A = this chain, B = another copy of it.
Amino acid sequence: MAGDSFGKLFTVTSFGESHGPALGCIVTGCPPGLELTEADLQKDLDRRRPGRSRHVTQRKEPDAVRILSGVFEGVTTGTAIGLLIENMDQRSRDYEKIKDKVRPGHADYTYMQKYGIRDYRGGGRASARETAMRVAAGGIARKYLHERLGVRIRGYLAQLGPYTLEPLDLDAVDSNPFFCADPGQLENLEEYMIQLRRDGDSIGARINIIASGMPVGLGEPVFDKLDAAVAHAMMSINAVKGVELGDGFKVIEQRGSEHRDEITADGFLKNSSGGTLGGISSGQDLLVSIALKPTSSIQKAGTTVDTKGAPAEIVTTGRHDPCVGLRATPIAEAMLALTLMDHYLRHRAQNADVQVGGRIGATATKR
């Protein structure tokens, strides 16, 4: 199986190139009886959509999703859900001039070497355009998790280049183009992005994602710990180069007496572990953080080779995101939703009838 599928029970399989006629995916394993409309999925697609602000790619795509199967009279039937988004603004002529060049920092070289052929129009399959289907499919998982289990997944921009941003007001995230929960810094971000565009350059970012209302018990021993599944999901997003759970890389300098989350009858006293113990969800908030690299498609000239190996210079003038992190929040949320949904079904398959007492639930510490 090539890498176009995610999940073992709640499974998404996608197809589609940046400049092909359409993108699509098939979601299998969705429990029946979930109310579902295209509007439910469009909401998150609109959050990810290009052209929403002047700080992201100006490609004009409505990204209107169609549900082609698996929903009957407004509810899921339990059978495969086919989703389709047509590409409207392809402008593939933009790519003629770089078709013979190997763009540094892009998949051009590796796809060419792996397959002996590549669709050079906008990165083809390697384009972040495929993340639209992650968001569409993730919307189904998200709705189920929220309506049936009370899980809420929220992300925010935690750092943009030099600016560290606090999660002061998560409700503000959707009212600004940065997915920023630190409204006092918005002006700085605006100015930073304007200067960046003038410089013809790009910048990295950090996104944090939190799942609250977590069920206890998700994740499997050994190789499929929830941590591993989350890391896999996040690192599969284009441009992600680092993943942390809980205190992440800070644990290196922590002592055990400082790191371990002590427990009282009222719950955990803190959440350094980030919501898992032994790889299985503890009911605490799941805390995930990811690092996204700056896009390599910039207007500053760079050194490279052409497809025959001869030296060349490259300048990317197409429509690109100067900070891919700016549109990554709904994608990361979607990937977390898909991961949790899959592990919820895996857990339920094996342990549906387990009865336990002593749950430390009411006051499980969030942060």
Contacts and interface: CB of A to CB of B under 8 A. Distances in A.
Contacts of A221: 2-4, 79-80, 125-126
Interface in A290-307: 291-298, 300, 302-305, 307
Contacts of A257: 201-202, 298, 300, 302
Given A32-B117, A117-B72, A303 B354 contact: no
A151 interface: no
Given A227-B241, A265-B311, A356-B116, A26 B24 contact: yes
Nearest to A110: B280
A184 interface: no
A9 B68 contact: no
Contact of A113 (B30, B217, B240): B217
Contact of A77 (B9, B117, B276, B300): B117
Counting every copy of the chain, the complex holds 4
A204 interface: yes
A104 B278 contact: no
A257 to B, nearest CB: 5
A114 B222 CA distance: 14
Contact of A15 (B70, B216, B360): B70
B202 A256 contact: yes
B110 A204 contact: no
B114 A77 contact: no
A350 B236 contact: no
B236 A3 contact: no
Q: How large is the interface on A (under 10, 10 to 19, 20 to 34, 35 or more residues)?
A: 35 or more
Given A32-B116, A32-B354, 7 more contacts: A2-B29, A9-B9, A15-B69, A79-B124, A105-B260, A111-B278, A265-B305
A241 to B, nearest CB: 5
B359 A263 contact: no
A207 B78 CA distance: 32
Interface stretch (A42-50, A56-64, A171-179, A246-254): A246-254
A206 B256 CA distance: 15
A122 to B, nearest CB: 12
Nearest to A104: B260
A341 to B, nearest CB: 11
Contact of A279 (B15, B113, B236): B236
A363 interface: no
B236 A227 contact: yes
A207 to B, nearest CB: 10
B32 A351 contact: yes
A241 B245 contact: yes
B243 A242 contact: yes
